[in-house]
Amino acid sequence: MKKRSTEREREVCGLDLGDRYSRLCLLDGETGEVVEEGRIATTDAALRRRFSSAAPMRVALEVGTHSPWVSRVLSECGHEVIVANPRKLRLIYTNRRKNDAVDAMYLARLARTDPALLAPVHHRGQGAQRDLAILRSREALVRARTQLVNHVRGAVKSIGARLPRCGAEAFARKAGTALPPGLVTALTPVIGVIASLTAQIRSCDRTLAGLAKTYPETAVLRQVKGVGPITSLAYVLTLESPERFATSRAVGPYLGLIPAQHDSGDSTPQMRISKEGDSFVRKLLVGSAQYILGPFGEDCDLRRHGLRLGAGGSRKDKKRAVVAVARKLAVLLHCLWKTQTPYDPLYNAARAQRATAAA
């Protein structure tokens, strides 16, 4: 009982992070009265100066650009840090009198009442964040190249011509010699940028292939045909530890690959997937699922499950099959990572066959 009383008496701080300055609201842990309100510079030095000498307190802040390093700084200063999921805080983002000071106060009051109401988010470590930045930089380069390729093809089509069909890797080489005379001056600089982006993407691929070797667990995930270095590395760096999840099935909801719910009374509408969690990893898993269901995918339990779901042949059935395979793939990868066991592509099929034979 004493421990509970001590926890209650600790001061509680709400910190609404801004790019240059952050708003601070400090509450008395016992009475809930406002002890301090103010503004603090969003810098390492300013935060350490304010919090390093303060008594241990509970600090609540929202996920954002600065939240990873700020949460690490405050933890090093000896405080309990709760990083809130802003998507769960309708009390804050639907407030008609929303401002930084009010946001900080609400964060503090929620943290004082029940931290679970903040739907706390676990930030990955600094090393994982740094390595994940390489993956996201590659993704940004790929998006930029795709936009430029689409621009070139659209410009050529607008004058009644067409460029040869080819992949993005070979586009600069093949399109550069096939440009209509009237567009050579306009599009040659763009072709040059596309060639440069392709070279940068290849360089990133080599870096990521080397980086994957420093994470031995990615080799276990790459046993699944359709999961390459990029997908396995992004999966490991985002989840960071398999022990974060009590069961492998919890990974599907974490990555937003299960249907959202909006049940009320007898109404249980069928909804699309929630798309919560990391969109980058979800996109990579969907891409792997498309490969598994495509013409080059090997015969495996995942492929058979997806083909059964998409047997109707409609576009909706096929999309549902891809998402279902991506969800099962997320669960499978976690199971392989946690158990470090060899991958058997037809494990479920063999088990069903043995059960039938025994019956």
Question: Is residue 68 domain-resident?
Answer: yes
Domain of residue 130 covers 126-213
What averages of pLDDT result for each successive group of 10 residues across the chain (359 residues)? 51 94 93 92 96 94 93 95 86 75 91 90 86 95 97 94 92 92 94 97 94 93 94 94 92 90 75 86 96 94 94 90 96 95 89 83
121 φ/ψ angles, rounded to the nearest 5 degrees: -110, 140
Left (φ > 0), alpha (ψ -120 to 50) or beta: where does 275 sit?
Answer: left
Q: What is the pLDDT at residue 10?
A: 83
Question: Is residue 263 domain-resident?
Answer: no
**The total number of structural domains that make up the chain:** 3
Q: Note whether 292 and 327 are within 8 A (CB).
A: no
User: Smallest Cα–Cα separation from 323: which of 279, 271, 287?
Assistant: 287
Residue with tokens 């530890």: 241
Compute the chain's Rg from CA coordinates: 26
Which amino acid is residue 312, in one-letter code? G
Please give the structure tokens belonging to residue 106.
Answer: 């609400």
Considering the domain architecture, whether residues 145 and 31 belong to the same structural domain is answered as no
| Gap between the Cα atoms of 63 and 61, Å rounded | 7
Q: What is the pLDDT at residue 355?
A: 83
Q: Note whether 329 and 222 are within 8 A (CB).
A: no
Q: Is 32 helix (H, G, I), strand (E, B) or coil?
A: coil
Q: Is 84 helix (H, G, I), strand (E, B) or coil?
A: strand
Considering the domain architecture, whether residues 26 and 93 belong to the same structural domain is answered as yes
Considering the domain architecture, whether residues 277 and 204 belong to the same structural domain is answered as no
22 has which bridge partners? 40
Considering the domain architecture, whether residues 228 and 353 belong to the same structural domain is answered as yes
Question: Is residue 230 domain-resident?
Answer: yes
Helices (H) and strands (E) in the chain, counts: 15, 5
User: Smallest Cα–Cα separation from 16: which of 48, 55, 54, 42?
Assistant: 42
Q: What is the pLDDT at residue 1?
A: 36
Considering the domain architecture, whether residues 170 and 238 belong to the same structural domain is answered as no
Question: Is residue 143 domain-resident?
Answer: yes
Q: What is the pLDDT at residue 9?
A: 66
Considering the domain architecture, whether residues 139 and 102 belong to the same structural domain is answered as no
Considering the domain architecture, whether residues 225 and 338 belong to the same structural domain is answered as yes
Q: How many CB atoms within 10 Å of residue 265? A: 5
Q: What is the value of pTM for the model shown? A: 0.83
Considering the domain architecture, whether residues 104 and 149 belong to the same structural domain is answered as no
Q: What angle do CA 41, 44, 45 make, to 5 degrees?
A: 80
Considering the domain architecture, whether residues 200 and 230 belong to the same structural domain is answered as no
User: Smallest Cα–Cα separation from 331: which of 348, 308, 350?
Assistant: 348
